[in-house]
Structure 1
Amino acid sequence: MTSVNDLLDLLILDNINENEFKGFSKTIGNAYVFGGQVLAQAINAASRTIHNGRILHSLHAYFLEAGQLDIPIIYNVSVLRDGGSFSVRRVTASQNGTVIFILSASFHKEEEGYDHQIKMKTNLKQPEELLSWTDILRQFEDFLPRKLKAFFEIDRPIDFKPVTVANPLEPKDLPPVSDVWFKLRGDIENLSLATKQQILTYISDYNILVSALNPHASKANWGNTQTASLDHSMWFFRDFDFNDWLLFSIESPNATGARGFARGNIFTRDGKLIASVAQEGLMRPKK
């Protein structure tokens, strides 16, 4: 995948019937289906059963089994509630009859109300000052660990620019935070809010566990640590567009028992808070 159109081809599911849909997978460099893909496809399925114009405001999901890349994923949507203000859907994702993922999503009608938000960090380098993953590959490919190099070599419809880049040749423990600018590639005009939310959900599963691994980076890395998303929650606050860079600002309050917890906020470049994310992931040292 090299552009947003390729990504949309992946996220927009095939109809089986009114409440059942089929999706396919593409690798991002892992042996199993990327969690962000399943999240976004499940939201696409849930959104296709909303016929009253309500807007996704939250999702909560659990990853139960690793998804196989070569097997279609079947998404079954249950209509749990269509109330006066909120609609709730439950989505079950299966492969060969085995449930691999469950999600609950809530949609809210547009209403007026109070408004406030936290502020974005103001001391960060801007995207134009930073190297993207592609830039890092081009400049340092001869020095990158094999697995990291292979990961960076995968074509993606998104550019990522981390504010801080750890030196893999001099591993050291780092603060439990991570700030990453990101931007879509390709034609991003005339995207509906529902489509933008699905794309943002896909992107939200990138980078989030980095902050949980950072405090242990002197001994832990992606090669010697088994990682996987265990659950994922997301809240959507405001409309936005992908015409400029967005910032994913992440922190990890805790890691224990082979699990790491991370939470983050996604801002527009001018500081508008558009979404918050929380995830617990497996961080199991390999023996």
Structure 2
Amino acid sequence: MSEALDELVGDVLDLEDIERDIFRGRSPRESLLRVFGGQVAGQAMVAAGRTVDADRDVHSLHGYFLRPGDPFAPIVYEVDRARDGRSFTTRRVTAVQHGETIFTMSASFQRAEEGVEHQAPMPDTPGPDGLPRRDMPPVPPDRPAWTTTGKALTWPLDVRYVDHAPWDESTHRPPRNRVWIRADGKLPDPSEPGGRLLHVCVLTYASDLTLLEAAVFPHVKGGAGARDVSLASLDHAMWFHRPFRADEWLLYVQESPNAGGGRGLATGRLYRDDGTLVASVVQEGLIRRREP
């Protein structure tokens, strides 16, 4: 594993058990000005999953980001065991910091069963080899929205841009974005205890990183890292369709059907490199132009 991935798996997503259905998590040592939304969603999924029988896998989550998280304070996750049925299990998770709720999530788990099948085809896309990585260009110190220090963060993910990247200064970019994404290192096998849940939590973390860029690219130079816009996730939903490994390449096809009213909507589909659709994502985010 890379150092950043090792910290994500061995510390950030390894929540501390405080009491029955109550857990505590922390942010990485290298942090943003506010807690990264994918981190909170991933940690909430860890908390929910620890209260569910091992024969059931998560099939959906629906989360709302209510307040910015403080990256220098722990986050407490409280799990409500809403339902344990014969086929489905439902959990509600509340993330609390400084006595206030910063995030809520509902997650549903299902016992494996057979059913009818179809999927949207994967678009014809160049492979990840040779494509620019997200962490290639340095982040100028006059872009404080990225970090507390002005330097580029070390992400636990390997992200390769197919169409256009956040540092692309071109104009007239369509509200679409394709990236190849995977954990930056080897994860435990899904067959190991807790392995399937870990891969789901890492993908949940990853799903929030680039999605809103599709809503921003047509409007500003530099995309989501531009100085003249501020972004914040409002809600986030995922559906998990088929097995996958988060440490193997997944194509993330992202589109934004609408932006307006200070918000942008983006949808995403995640494919294995063999063309199998493994997950779908929808997110709405706050998009505001900064004051000059």
* TM-score, length-scaled by structure 2: 0.89
What CA deviation, in whole Å up to 9, does each residue of 1:222-252 have, x standing for no partner?
A: 3111110000000001111245311111000
- SS of aligned partner of 2:211: coil
Question: Structure 1 CA distance, aligned partners of 2:86 and 2:283?
Answer: 30
1:5 equivalenced with 2:9 (yes/no): no
Matches within 5 A, 1:268-287: 268-287=272-291
Letter paired with 2:219: H
CA contact (8 A) 2:120 2:277 kept: yes
TM-superposed deviation, 1:186: 2.4
What CA deviation, in whole Å up to 9, does each residue of 1:40-79 have, x standing for no partner?
A: 0000000011025211000001000000011110000001
Consecutive aligned runs of 4 or more in structure 1 exceeding 3 Å deviation: 143-146, 148-152, 166-171, 218-221
TM-superposed deviation, 1:111: 0.6
1:240 equivalenced with 2:244 (yes/no): yes
1:164 equivalenced with 2:167 (yes/no): no
CA contact (8 A) 1:56 1:106 kept: yes
1:87 equivalenced with 2:89 (yes/no): yes
Question: Structure 1 CA distance, aligned partners of 2:237 and 2:185?
Answer: 28
Superposition CA RMSD, Å: 2.2
The farther-off stretch of 144-153 and 220-229 is 144-153
- SS of aligned partner of 2:109: strand
Matches within 5 A, 1:128-143: 128-134=129-135, 136-137=136-137, 141=138
What CA deviation, in whole Å up to 9, does each residue of 1:190-216 have, x standing for no partner?
A: 241111000000000010000000121
Question: Structure 2 CA distance, aligned partners of 1:152 and 1:238?
Answer: 37
CA gap of 1:2–1:146, structure 2 versus 1, over 3 A, is farther
* Structure having the larger proportion of residues in helix: 1
Question: Structure 2 CA distance, aligned partners of 1:172 and 1:269?
Answer: 30
1:205 equivalenced with 2:208 (yes/no): yes
Partner of 2:217: 214
Question: Structure 2 CA distance, aligned partners of 1:159 and 1:219?
Answer: 20
Letter paired with 2:86: G
Structure 1 residues without counterparts, runs of 5 or longer: none
Letter paired with 1:207: T
CA contact (8 A) 1:160 1:180 kept: yes
Partner of 1:147: 143
Letter paired with 1:103: M
CA gap of 1:169–1:55, structure 2 versus 1, over 3 A, is closer
Question: Structure 1 CA distance, aligned partners of 2:172 and 2:29?
Answer: 30
CA contact (8 A) 2:141 2:151 kept: no
User: How many residues are paired up?
Assistant: 281
Percent sequence identity is 40
Letter paired with 1:127: P
Structure 2 residues without counterparts, runs of 5 or longer: none
TM-superposed deviation, 1:4: 3.0
Partner of 1:33: 35
TM-superposed deviation, 1:189: 3.8
The farther-off stretch of 46-55 and 66-75 is 46-55
The farther-off stretch of 166-175 and 184-193 is 166-175
What CA deviation, in whole Å up to 9, does each residue of 1:157-213 have, x standing for no partner?
A: 111111123585744121010001112222324241111000000000010000000
Letter paired with 1:280: E
* TM-score, length-scaled by structure 1: 0.91
